[in-house]
Structure 1
Amino acid sequence: MFDMLSFTQRAAGVATASVLAAAPLAATASADRSGPLYFRAGTLSCAIDAVGSVGCDLASPARMTVKLAGDEVAIPFEVSQVVIDSAETPAHPGFAPGAYTLPGGNPGIDEVATGSDMWGPKLAYAGARCGVGFHGSFFCTSKGHSFGWYASAIAAS
């Protein structure tokens, strides 16, 4: 027979354990910083600067679509970088190879994460949010715009 009180107590225990498990990550990543936060998620090397601009270098070029005026517009070439750098424009291709990659490589997102969920690590810095999603997908949002990467394709808005 289903016992609602027992179920609620177990759910509260799981939620509390999840919060406590994430606390060390949050304390480590939330240290005061004034410069960019660099990280790697799969094959993307990314950085978020102190004003929330986000950029990622892709290890391999990918197809990209950008949502403009409600329509999905395909970029007519494969991109090697994606950037959110303005509230006035959607996420878009970047053209500064390696700009978001540290010499020797970026630390893994799990090393700088401010939290996680069932899909993977997440981080928040300077108003931007990025994280690993379902089946290793990756997303970032900032300045009212976003992009998502999955299976060698990027969807931006």
Structure 2
Amino acid sequence: MMIVDELPFRFVEKRGFRKFCRVGMPRFDVPSKRTIVRDILQMYVDMKTSLMKQFKERKVRVCLTTDTWTSIQNINYMVVTAHFVDENWQLQKRVLSFTQILDHRGETIGKCIEKLLIDWGIDRVFTITVDNASSNNTVILYVNRKLNSWHADGRFWLASICIYGVVHIL
């Protein structure tokens, strides 16, 4: 409920929620905010471990998409999503990172992607789709250079696409 409905963790401490639980489910012991945070973080760690294992054991090639934006408070954010085909030939997508970034420059985005690849143990990137056309080439060159240093045999393919540019052309 907390994740699906994007509720703040402190929601379980609210008087209305506690009353609702007492009336609707009298035997239910409402967990504390601390327990909710602990359990959700453990779920994240478990899911990340499972996904990392899948990437490694199945030698999955991932396609990455990035999106960057600036909030009303002038804070820059970036999300990186992995797209891949699972063992049942079903297309999957998972958000790997949602983070603050200093700026929208290609090198900054490239360094964030590099850190993500290291943190997740991903070394088989098929494509990267970048939403910022001006940063596109810099991001691809940066990540390409890093992947080349990781792969002595050079067996990977990396392409960049600015989806907004493609839509604009159509």
TM-score, with structure 1 as normaliser: 0.28
Greater share of strand: 1
TM-score, with structure 2 as normaliser: 0.27
Larger radius of gyration: 2
Which is bigger in relative contact order (C-alpha 8 A, separation at least 6)?
1
